[in-house]
Structure 1
Amino acid sequence: MPVYNRERYVLSALRSLIRQGDAADLDIIVIDDGSTDGSAEAVRSMMVENPCIRLFRQENMGVAKTRNAGLRQLPADAEFVSFLDSDDISLAERFKTDLAHFRATPSLELTYSLMTLADRIDDERLEPTFDSRIVTLRGISLSTALFRRSLVERTGQFDEEFEQSEDTDYLLRVFERGPNYELLDTVAIYYRRHAGNVTREHGDRVRNHLRAIHKSIRRRKADPSLREIPGIFEMKSPLNDWPMT
């Protein structure tokens, strides 16, 4: 979990993970990327009763370097890897649902689920409010994926040249390797839409997204063993035009 100035949301994100401890032996790695608010203190407030949370702090380096810092902290015995941004919510029993598919298919390397975008989330219930605008889709999101550790190692680190769309680039590289994957029709996360979302910077997001696609095309031209990217991502949603207040 990369964190940068998310004091308002990070406790809800962590609570949504902690409640899934009955499905997996969790190791929650939080990398604070030079936050200037109380994000680190908020995380520490949960660590006493939840020793599965580990907090690491660094100077502000950007999200790609922060994700790589998290990967470097993976314990040696970790079999699966997932991501959650510090303002989103992991649905109850999400890991229980996904891990059942891995048990049923030992060769499975990746599950990729749906996401629900919501502009209002009840932070007590960890659910969208009754008046929230929502839409469910299969978008570009690391948090909807559960990776077998060996696939993460085969894919390598995040490309630190990306200030945004490092997740797009990473997922393209994952699918280029032709993993054994399964698309699930269950929702993995609630993606919280708010004024601080980095993806609201539309022009930069589009440029970085196109750059990630271009790099994928170049890799596949240079290496014919790499696979075509399956057409599984929904790139647009009605929520892109929501006014944020």
Structure 2
Amino acid sequence: MTLSVIMPVYNREAYVGAALRSLLRQQDDADLDIIVVDDGSTDGSNAAVRSMMRQTSRIRLFEQPNMGVTKARNTGLRQLLPQTRLVSFLDSDDISPAGRFKADLSCFDRDPLLELTYSRMTLVDELDGETLEPAAGGHSITVRGIHLSAGIFARSLVDRIGGFDEEFRQAEDTDYLLRVFESDAKYTMPDTVALYYRRHPGNMTKEADVPFREFMRAIYKSMKRRRGDPSLRRIEGIFDFKDLAQWRFL
């Protein structure tokens, strides 16, 4: 069962190699197809990806002019293989913990009708470059956050939901996840840690007011959809909003 993992990259030379290594160390647990979309990087990101490609055939690289993360994600969706049955995501500055795929893919083995696993995430401010684990002495918090990498999506669900809304500059992932959960997809929420979210000065989420404004727009669009169609599922008890508020105190 092929699992395609979509990774947009823009100027992440310092991090993308570790992100790819964190996926490749799990290649015995999944038939991995890694789709890297270089969104017009101007640093050495492209070269770092190509260096990893010399070690494996599991990475496919697609290049485009800089058009933003939303369009890069849609480019990745258009490159899914015919045999892809599961889809996930990993940002190029984050880490996929060892054993994540083995744990969550077993849920699909047990339930052929399952469409989504949605696991937890750990926010960290320091990672060990060798082990790719949270560094001793660093700060971290594990939550049920809002992140695409927390999910493994059945191909049938991805096809049903469609692409990312390219009107969003940010929060396209929030909008996508809300549409997924509204759709009455069959899901389970394992306690697996699906990603280490690396906090660093270059995170998009540290821009001034853009993230909050885009996040609220995604919430508003969800409310508008559900008012217009009462059959859509309410989004309750999925995300740890209270715990997410602690991000700024780490």
Q: SS of the counterpart of 1:74?
A: coil
AA matched with 2:173: D
- Consecutive unaligned residues of structure 2, counting only runs of 5 or more, are 1-6
Taking the aligned partners of 2:20 and 2:208, their CA distance within structure 1 comes to 28
Q: Give the deviation of 1:224 after TM superposition.
A: 2.2
Task: Select which of 124, 143, 150 maps to 2:149.
Answer: 143
Does residue 48 of structure 2 align to residue 42 of structure 1? yes
Task: Show the counterpart of 2:226.
Answer: 220
Q: Give the deviation of 1:205 after TM superposition.
A: 0.7
Query: Does the 8 Å CA contact 2:104/2:192 hold for their aligned counterparts?
Result: no
Q: What are the residue-to-residue correspondences of 1:168-179 with 2, within 5 Å?
A: 168-179=174-185
Task: Show the counterpart of 1:237.
Answer: 245
Q: What are the residue-to-residue correspondences of 1:45-194 with 2, within 5 Å?
A: 45-194=51-200
Q: Give the deviation of 1:239 after TM superposition.
A: 2.4
Query: Does the 8 Å CA contact 1:175/1:230 hold for their aligned counterparts?
Result: no
Does residue 10 of structure 2 align to residue 4 of structure 1? yes
Taking the aligned partners of 2:245 and 2:42, their CA distance within structure 1 comes to 32
Q: SS of the counterpart of 2:153?
A: strand
AA matched with 2:185: P
Per the normalisation by structure 2, the TM-score is: 0.95
Taking the aligned partners of 1:239 and 1:228, their CA distance within structure 2 comes to 25
Q: Give the deviation of 1:231 after TM superposition.
A: 2.3
AA matched with 2:170: Q
AA matched with 2:103: T
Taking the aligned partners of 1:72 and 1:208, their CA distance within structure 2 comes to 25
Query: Does the 8 Å CA contact 1:144/1:188 hold for their aligned counterparts?
Result: yes
Taking the aligned partners of 1:21 and 1:226, their CA distance within structure 2 comes to 37
Per the normalisation by structure 1, the TM-score is: 0.97
Taking the aligned partners of 1:135 and 1:202, their CA distance within structure 2 comes to 23
C-alpha RMSD over aligned residues: 0.9
Taking the aligned partners of 2:78 and 2:138, their CA distance within structure 1 comes to 37
Quote the sequence identity (%): 62
Taking the aligned partners of 2:223 and 2:238, their CA distance within structure 1 comes to 17
What is the total number of aligned residue pairs between the two structures?
Answer: 242
Taking the aligned partners of 2:231 and 2:208, their CA distance within structure 1 comes to 34
- Consecutive unaligned residues of structure 1, counting only runs of 5 or more, are none
Taking the aligned partners of 1:93 and 1:108, their CA distance within structure 2 comes to 20
Q: Give the deviation of 1:202 after TM superposition.
A: 4.4
What do residues 80-134 of structure 1 show as CA deviations (whole Å, max 9, x unaligned)? 0000000000011111101111111111110011101000001211011101100
Q: SS of the counterpart of 2:118?
A: strand
Taking the aligned partners of 1:74 and 1:7, their CA distance within structure 2 comes to 25
Taking the aligned partners of 1:15 and 1:49, their CA distance within structure 2 comes to 11
Q: SS of the counterpart of 2:197?
A: strand
Query: Does the 8 Å CA contact 2:226/2:232 hold for their aligned counterparts?
Result: yes
